[in-house]
Structure 1
Amino acid sequence: MERDLSGVRELASDLAVRAGRLQLERRDTLRVGAPKAHANDVVSDVDIASERLIVDAVHAAWPDDAMLAEEGNGRRGTSGWNWVIDPLDGTRNYISRTGPWSVCIALYHGDEPRMAVVHEPVANETFSAIAGGGAFLNGEPLRVAGGPPLEKALVGVSFQPNPATKERAARVIRQLLPVSGDIRRLPAALNLVYLAAGRLDGGLALDTNLWDIAAGALVAREAGVTLGGHGTDFTPELTIGAAPELWPALSELVRSAA
């Protein structure tokens, strides 16, 4: 069954903004819980409250849809539509006040991403996309340019901070940093949407989860960013994005190092 994706995006954008507002309001009173998968995999009560806000509203609107949500509020569905939700991508930045974070909501039909929203609360920026309909920032269209050569490129780097992935990231950075213009470490979703906005020329993400990259990847692709991984498409294990002219050099280096 088809769905009014423009209306879906409007609701998802509103929910992301509301979750972001909650995160700003509760930042001074947040409580950090026990780590999840490893010592650096932190979660706060604000992550959980933000997810509940989004999940409850989506379930009320489309009770037959499935959900994959980072903090455990997923459910099976029967409609063929699946929501992928990261209520607070960049929790360590949020808790420590050392960098940006975002609210991420994506909608799939089967295996195909159809709609995406990434909201950055501090800057009040909402990136969004509908498959085949382009990418937008606060309603204005985004289209990536060709990109500089690698030696002048600004490249975003995202990775899970578990011991094995940090070793893998170190190998990539060791190869990338001397030959690129510079690098920035960012949460995965913002890495991808900043590519779409032309703030970064290239980006890579290592060992993420689908909820980290689903929304940002659709925004990036709809803006004309070239995406891939070890094969012809990106995966949570390895996601590489770049402006088209930068793609061959960056993807070759990252694939060999990763």
Structure 2
Amino acid sequence: MNRDLAAARDLAATVAVQAGRLQLERHDTLRVGAPKAHANDVVSDVDIASERLIVDAITAAWPDDAVQAEEGHGRPGTSGWMWVVDPLDGTRNYISRTGPWSVCVALYEGDQPRVAVVHEPVADETFSAVDGGGAFLNGVSLQVTGGPSLDKALVGISFQPNPATKDRAGKVIRDLLPVSGDIRRLPAALNLAYQAAGRLDGGLCLDTNLWDIAAGALIAREAGVILGGHGDDFTPELTIGAAVDLWPELSALVRAVLVS
């Protein structure tokens, strides 16, 4: 089934910006619900309203597509295409006003990511990509350079805040921080998008979900970031990204810590 990928990207960008505006408008009146998987896995009524806005728009445009969405508004489909939606990646940052968050929308054809949008509402920045068509920030092309050595590199780290993953992340940070330029903890989608923009030289995401990394990974890849995991393919369990010159050092260190 043919699909106008530019039109899909434009719709994804439009609804992501609309959801971002809703999040800014409702920041002072949000209500936090009960934790989900664990005490640090929080959700607000704004997450749910944002997801409903995005899924309703997608369903109206492509009613036969499947949707996989974090807050439960997913649906099966018959077209072979699937939208992957994280309406608010970085909910705890959003609730506590302690850092950035983003709206993430990706489109898959089978198991192949074809379209991606990550929108950061506060900065009004929209990262986007089409498979084979490059990555962009507010319409300006992104292309990473070779990158620095690890001792000068700024590295992003993202992880699910459950006890087991925090323990694994702590081991990586223990070995990475002394030998890197510095590290930053970020939500997974912005970790990957910032690598695409050259703001981070590399990064890793531990024990995420597909909706956390689907959009950011395509944007990073299209900008020239090398991606991998325990092997050549990245997974939600482990996604490592880096500029080409940094990749050997960073990937070797991360893999050594997590395998040991």
**What are the within-5 Å matches in structure 2 for residues 208-247 of structure 1?**
208-247=208-247
Shift of 1:7: 0.8
Match of 1:2 in 2: 2
Can you list the C-alpha shifts for 1:70-117, whole angstroms capped at 9, x where unaligned? 000111100000000000000000000000000000000000000000
Match of 1:37 in 2: 37
1:190 aligns with 2:190: yes
Task: Provide the C-alpha distance between the structure 1 equivalents of 2:242 and 2:86, rounded to a whole number of angstroms.
Answer: 23
Task: Provide the C-alpha distance between the structure 1 equivalents of 2:165 and 2:118, rounded to a whole number of angstroms.
Answer: 25
The residue identity in structure 2 corresponding to 1:216 is G
Match of 2:90 in 1: 90
Match of 2:137 in 1: 137
Moved over 6 A (4+): none
Q: Which runs of 5+ in 1 are unaligned?
A: none
Count of residues in correspondence between the two structures: 258
Shift of 1:249: 0.4
Shift of 1:48: 0.0
Match of 1:107 in 2: 107
Shift of 1:23: 0.0
Task: Provide the C-alpha distance between the structure 2 equivalents of 1:100 and 1:211, rounded to a whole number of angstroms.
Answer: 17
1:120 aligns with 2:120: yes
Task: Provide the C-alpha distance between the structure 1 equivalents of 2:28 and 2:101, rounded to a whole number of angstroms.
Answer: 16
Task: Provide the C-alpha distance between the structure 1 equivalents of 2:167 and 2:10, rounded to a whole number of angstroms.
Answer: 40
Q: Which runs of 5+ in 2 are unaligned?
A: none
Report the 3-state secondary structure (helix = DSSP H, G, I; strand = E; otherwise coil) of the residue aligned with 1:52.
helix
Task: Provide the C-alpha distance between the structure 1 equivalents of 2:157 and 2:105, rounded to a whole number of angstroms.
Answer: 21
The residue identity in structure 2 corresponding to 1:188 is A
Task: Provide the C-alpha distance between the structure 1 equivalents of 2:43 and 2:244, rounded to a whole number of angstroms.
Answer: 36
Task: Provide the C-alpha distance between the structure 2 equivalents of 1:154 and 1:10, rounded to a whole number of angstroms.
Answer: 31
Shift of 1:42: 0.1
The residue identity in structure 2 corresponding to 1:189 is A
1:150 aligns with 2:153: no
Can you list the C-alpha shifts for 1:135-161, whole angstroms capped at 9, x where unaligned? 000000000010000000000000000
1:206 aligns with 2:200: no
The residue identity in structure 2 corresponding to 1:153 is A
| Aligned sequence identity (%) | 81
- TM superposition score normalised by structure 1: 1.00
Shift of 1:2: 1.1
